[in-house]
Amino acid sequence: MSAAIRATTPDLRSELIDWRERLEASANKSSDTFQLNGLLREVNAAIESLSREGYGVCQVCHDLIGQATMTIDPLAKTCLSCFTPEQLQELEQDLDRAWLIQGELLPKQNLKFNGWEVSYHYEPAGPVSGDYCDLVSLDNGELYFLIGDVSGKGVAASLLMSRLHAIFRSLIGAGLGVSELVERANQLFAESTMRPYYATLVCGKASKSGEMEICNAGHVAPLLLHDGSVTPIAATGLPIGMFCHERYSSTRVKLGKGDRLLLYTDGLSEARNRNDCEYGDERLSMFLNGCPQLPAISLVKELLEDLSAFSLARRRSDDLTVMAIEMVGH
Ligand SMILES: [Zn+2]
């Protein structure tokens, strides 16, 4: 996720205090305060208990538990280094199962549909990914493609990724235009997601004729590759989940045989190597100029090889997704 709009982890205590204020305001306005007072007592007890038990402090070593663990479990009482081997093993098994379930949400690899071929690579930085990637082909011959990046990382982001997956899967097929589809998805996502989480995404629809309609909600620009030239499809709206009633517009492009659309998350563009240099747009352009006519499947493969040659074996710090869609014709 880009530094400009990086999310902060919600602080449980501040959320509770905020909730108490809203409850108190409602209690002042309402004539029947019996239930509200009960709820207020519970919220007060929770705030007191957080203060008494040293919220965010490990009960074994008394060090701070750390943001990563608190993101997974806001009520964690032990830091990772104080876990017993059994607890660690249990956690690892849990995460392995979560990754298997996440894998089932991914679309078919090397999909061929109605004159299009799509290849993608999906790789988490940790045990699970907060990136979103989907392909949906409809009986009417249209192919929807989606790529996105949920703010934050780890388990919380992966849960929101599966929420996005469910929202779009339930809306696609309702005959909405791409921008309307993103507007509806934004509303559902914003209403059901605790702030400050949000997601950048690209939602597109490809038809048999080579036409594409693309809506970019705050995501890194997909690149249209045509005859050695590279055209970015810039964002025309905010990431989804920030405001309930955001409007979105879309861009229409036409692809001829051999043209490709390259989509990726910032795990590619913001990847850093051992010298702390960023992969960046410049290196990506250099790569694309160096191999202008690769088909989708080789484009993804060679791009990943270029990234790993650049990274000098530095461990990835962000989830990575790359997708290439090629018009191969009929
Ligand atoms: Zn500890």
| 3-state class (DSSP) for residue 309 | helix
pLDDT score recorded for residue 21: 81
pLDDT score recorded for residue 71: 65
Q: How far is the CA of 65 from the centre of ligand 1 (A)?
A: 7
Q: How far is the CA of 53 from the centre of ligand 1 (A)?
A: 14
pLDDT level of residue 7 (50, 70, 90 thresholds) = very low
Q: What is the mean pLDDT of residues 134-150?
A: 96
Q: How far is the CA of 82 from the centre of ligand 1 (A)?
A: 4
Averaged pLDDT score across all residues of the chain: 88
pLDDT level of residue 315 (50, 70, 90 thresholds) = confident
Picking from 57-71, 161-175, 237-251, 316-330, which range would have the lowest pLDDT averaged per residue?
Answer: 57-71
pTM of the model: 0.79
Q: What is the mean pLDDT of residues 50-55?
A: 66
pLDDT score recorded for residue 9: 38
pLDDT level of residue 202 (50, 70, 90 thresholds) = very high
pLDDT level of residue 308 (50, 70, 90 thresholds) = very high
For residue 136, the cross-strand partners are 144
Separation between Cα atoms, residue 268 and residue 273, nearest integer Å: 11
pLDDT level of residue 116 (50, 70, 90 thresholds) = very high
Q: How far is the CA of 64 from the centre of ligand 1 (A)?
A: 8
Cβ–Cβ < 8 Å for 148, 219? yes
pLDDT level of residue 29 (50, 70, 90 thresholds) = confident
- The answer, yes or no, to whether residue 317 has pLDDT greater than 70, is yes
Question: Which stretches within 107-177 are classed as H helix?
Answer: 154-171
Q: What is the mean pLDDT of residues 205-213?
A: 96
Q: How far is the CA of 282 from the centre of ligand 1 (A)?
A: 43
Q: What is the mean pLDDT of residues 199-215?
A: 97
- The answer, yes or no, to whether residue 2 has pLDDT greater than 70, is no
Q: How far is the CA of 77 from the centre of ligand 1 (A)?
A: 8
Q: How far is the CA of 127 from the centre of ligand 1 (A)?
A: 22
Cβ–Cβ < 8 Å for 261, 223? yes
Q: What is the mean pLDDT of residues 73-94?
A: 84
263: nearest Cα among 325, 177, 181: 325
pLDDT score recorded for residue 74: 66
- Only one residue has tokens 């939602």, namely 203
180-199: per-residue pLDDT in tens?
Answer: 999 999 999 999 887 778 99
264-286: per-residue pLDDT in tens?
Answer: 999 999 999 888 899 999 999 99
Q: How far is the CA of 52 from the centre of ligand 1 (A)?
A: 18
- The answer, yes or no, to whether residue 26 has pLDDT greater than 80, is no
Q: What is the mean pLDDT of residues 8-22?
A: 68
Separation between Cα atoms, residue 214 and residue 207, nearest integer Å: 12
